Amino acid sequence: MESCKRYVLLVVLGISCFIGNTSTSANHYSIPEEMKEGSVVANLATDLGLDVKTLNQRKMRLDIVANKKYLDVNKETGELYVVEKIDREYICLAKSSCYLRLEVILENPLRIFNIEVEILDMNDNAPQFRRDAIHLDISEATPKGERFSLSNAVDPDVGSNSVKTYHLSESEYFNIEVQTGRDGSKFADLILTKTLDRENQAVHNLILSAVDGGTPARSGTASVVVHVLDTNDNAPVFEKTSYNIQTMENSPIGSLVVDLNATDLDEGSNSDITYSYSLYTSEKTQQTFNLNPSTGEITVKGTLNYEDFRIYDMEVIATDHGDNRLSAQCTIKILVEDMNDNHPEISIKSFHSPVNENIELDTVIAVVSVSDKDSGDNGIVDVHIPDNMPFKLRESSDNYYELVVSEPLDREKVPEYDITFTVTDRGSPPLSDNQTMTLELLDVNDNVPQFPLSFYTIRVMENNAPGALLSSLTAFDPDLHENQYLVYFILEKEIANTSMSMLFSINPENGNLYALKTFDYEIEKEFLFHIETRDSGSPPLSSNVTVHIIIVDQNDNAPVIVSPWRAHGSVVEEKIPRSTDKGSLVAKVIALDTDSVHNSRITYQFLQVTDATLFSLDQYNGEIRTMRMFSYKDPRHQRMVVVAKDNGEPALSATVTIKLSTMETAVKAYSDMTEVPLEYDIFSDLNLYLVIGLGSVSFLLLITILVTIVLKCQKPKSSKAAPPSRNSVISERNSTIADSTLVSNDAYWYSLFLAETRKGKMVIRQPVPKGSRYIVSSIPRGTGISDTSDSAASTLQVGINTHILKMYQIWTLCHGSIYREFTNQNGHRYFVVKCN
């Protein structure tokens, strides 16, 4: 739409000009660039002679030809002012003059005025180089005076505000010369004033400044970098002309010996260096060491052995790669240092094994030698053995040592020794080696066989089977072979004319002890003997041990009722006055058991009784007493069955039947013989006989004791008590004789005495001296009464004293006869003497 309007306007203007209303003259104005917005350029109303009041009516406007609208007119005042800041270099690039052409148009009547505004240049731009850095490559061989063109600077300003001159930073090698071109532009040439040396200074950094002619003057700078190009004018140089290198032997292949560093001040190919051996380097050296041609590193190529080769000489050449190659050389001496690389060696020259365990001290067992191929401290060798051994090393000569015995040896503690010889050099770190030899010890019979115990107590149950194993008495001998082989045997000893070898047997090889017979506790209660073991060494060694055999009792003997006496069968007939008081002793049942104390403990009880309210039975002493007096209702005949039972397991027993008849009599029953004296009319004869008998026995006993004392003083004392007789029953109860009356503190014998004396009978118990044991009876099975009256009388053996009493002296003492006798299952005959 605006283009259409402009087109119409142009047509109208053309018509106006054609009719003569267009002004052909133009008003000229000059303003500097970069004026501020709103700045007044001129008053057009005044300059054009226009009425300010009519400008709005005439629609005054400003039109800029072919340019951006930088200016405008104020219709109120008619002033031309700046709308936008004007940049001359932007509007008129590279032009010496710059104008803005304007048209002022008014209507009613139509008039057009030409306005020309000149934009004046200001020095608002500094000179600027096209590049910030200018690089130049100049050979160090370039002669002085040579010129090098530099890029010129550009300044958008014109006239005196454009580039006027150039300046170069201070340099002893370069200078500039300012030139003027055909278009008036200024440029500079770089001039070499001194010969360059790249090795001295390879790069020259210069500052080129361009300055304009404005006020104030503006300038721009650029870096000028001059690279000095190298020429091969320097030969390689080593750090040192000769090297003395020390390296350790056995250095690993590839390890660095020395890093040769030759330098060349040139650059590029002129400074590239190649290293090589000269012809003066031996082939052995070249085979041992490797030379890197690029880096100059010398590394180990072969094995270094101080003991074989110690010094290596070589010559190395360094050559550059320039067109005219330059080179340098150096000499190297490599000294191989000894290192502790050889282990010390040990050689066993002599070694004696095996040896007897009783070898003498300081006896030489072995001779060894030591060596080391290294030198210095590395070749000094020390040898030692473990500290906890009974040996020591003794130096005999240089590097020779003797191994000798330092302490007594005992094969039983240590049968062999692993002796380790350790050799160590004095290098750093030290090296060592070792060799182990085994020393065996031969056995010597130096150990006595030993039993685990010094005293063996073996308990054997009686009635054992012949040949039964009693125990294993095994001794130990730490020796070897025949010195260890043991033989066992029983040391002979007789007990009651019987050898131990007839009673016991021992296996000579393993020490098993056997019983050769069946033992009876009632006959033999213990055995004491020695067993010896002997090794088979030379000379043989032996030891013995004491064995105590204890026969353990079994309940193999049933109680035997000895009172009341049963003449025929098992029924005992007794008579008692019917007027017997309550608590009176009617009868006393006495049973004997030849077993041990525990098994022979007897208790009594009624098995049958006619009237349980009439009689009582003491279960411990067997006394039968009346619990009340007889009444007329009680039957005349009472029957009691008493059982006597032992304490064994299982219990054994015996019974007796007592048939009691009551009778009318004036005789008073006696409740207790110890408390009520016997009536003289009934027991007068018995008392007389009893006193005579007891007196005779006491007299004989006194004589026997005197004879025994005399015999004991004449005979040497025996070391051990004789064992009990095989045909004797031992009682450890004590008896005493007081007031010519036989009194026993044993319940059995005391009760038996009372019960049998009451019936005019007498039980004989033979006393012996104080401290001895007592024999009740000693009549073997098969011996009759007639045998007791001759010289083959029974033997009374008590402890170490032996008393021979003939049986006829007993029963003739009271003019009596055998009242009762019985034999137990072990063959012992017991008897009771009845006095007439």
Structure tokens at 160: 């005196």
Question: Which of 140-154, 310-324, 369-383, 488-502 is predicted with the least confidence, judged by mean pLDDT?
Answer: 488-502
Q: For residue 686, what pLDDT band results from cuts at 50, 70 and 90?
A: low
pLDDT attached to residue 25: 59
- Cβ atoms of 719 and 708 within 8 Å: the answer is no
SS (HEC) of 517-542: CCCCCCCCCEEEEEEEEEECCCCCCE
Of these ranges, 100-104, 793-797, 804-808, the one predicted with the greatest mean pLDDT is 100-104
* Cα(775)–Cα(240) distance, integer angstroms: 129
- Cβ atoms of 64 and 82 within 8 Å: the answer is no
Q: For residue 567, what pLDDT band results from cuts at 50, 70 and 90?
A: low
Q: Which residues pair with 322 in a beta bridge?
A: none
Which class for 692: exposed (0-12), middle (13-18), buried (19 or more C-beta within 10 A)? middle
Structure tokens at 762: 């007498």
Mean pLDDT of 669-673: 39
Name the amino acid, one letter, at 490.
Answer: I
pLDDT attached to residue 721: 36
pLDDT of 33 above 50: yes
The CA angle 420-424-427, to the nearest 5 degrees, is 165
pLDDT of 515 above 50: yes
* Cα(413)–Cα(484) distance, integer angstroms: 15
Between 239 and 724, the more confident residue is 239
Mean pLDDT of 571-580: 85
pLDDT attached to residue 665: 61
pLDDT of 397 above 90: no
Q: Is 428 helix (H, G, I), strand (E, B) or coil?
A: coil
% of the chain exceeding 90 in pLDDT = 28
Helix-, strand-, coil-residue percentages of the chain, each rounded to 5 = 15, 40, 45
- Cβ atoms of 148 and 122 within 8 Å: the answer is no
Between 151 and 741, the more confident residue is 151
Mean pLDDT of 403-429: 91
In 230-326, beta strands by DSSP E: 237-238, 242-248, 256-259, 262-263, 273-277, 289-291, 297-300, 311-320
Question: Which of 18-27, 36-45, 184-193, 366-375 is predicted with the least confidence, judged by mean pLDDT?
Answer: 18-27
Q: For residue 289, what pLDDT band results from cuts at 50, 70 and 90?
A: very high
- Cβ atoms of 504 and 524 within 8 Å: the answer is no
Mean pLDDT of 522-547: 90
Q: Which residues pair with 61 in a beta bridge?
A: 105
pLDDT attached to residue 685: 53
pLDDT of 668 above 70: no
Between 413 and 92, the more confident residue is 413
* Cα(668)–Cα(626) distance, integer angstroms: 14
pLDDT attached to residue 546: 93
pLDDT of 811 above 60: no
Q: What is the pTM of this model?
A: 0.42
Question: Which of 82-96, 207-221, 347-361 is predicted with the least confidence, judged by mean pLDDT?
Answer: 82-96
pLDDT digits (tens, 9 = 90+) for 687-742: 666 778 778 888 888 888 888 888 877 644 443 333 333 333 223 333 322 222 23
Question: Which of 115-119, 453-457, 722-726, 831-835 is predicted with the least confidence, judged by mean pLDDT?
Answer: 722-726
Mean predicted lDDT score pLDDT of the chain: 77
Q: Which residues pair with 463 in a beta bridge?
A: none
pLDDT digits (tens, 9 = 90+) for 463-501: 899 999 999 999 999 988 888 899 999 988 766 677 888
pLDDT attached to residue 495: 67
pLDDT attached to residue 499: 83
pLDDT of 760 above 60: no
Structure tokens at 686: 């018995």
Mean pLDDT of 51-68: 81
Taking the CA atoms of 89, 90, 93 and 98 in sequence, report the sign of the dihedral they define. negative
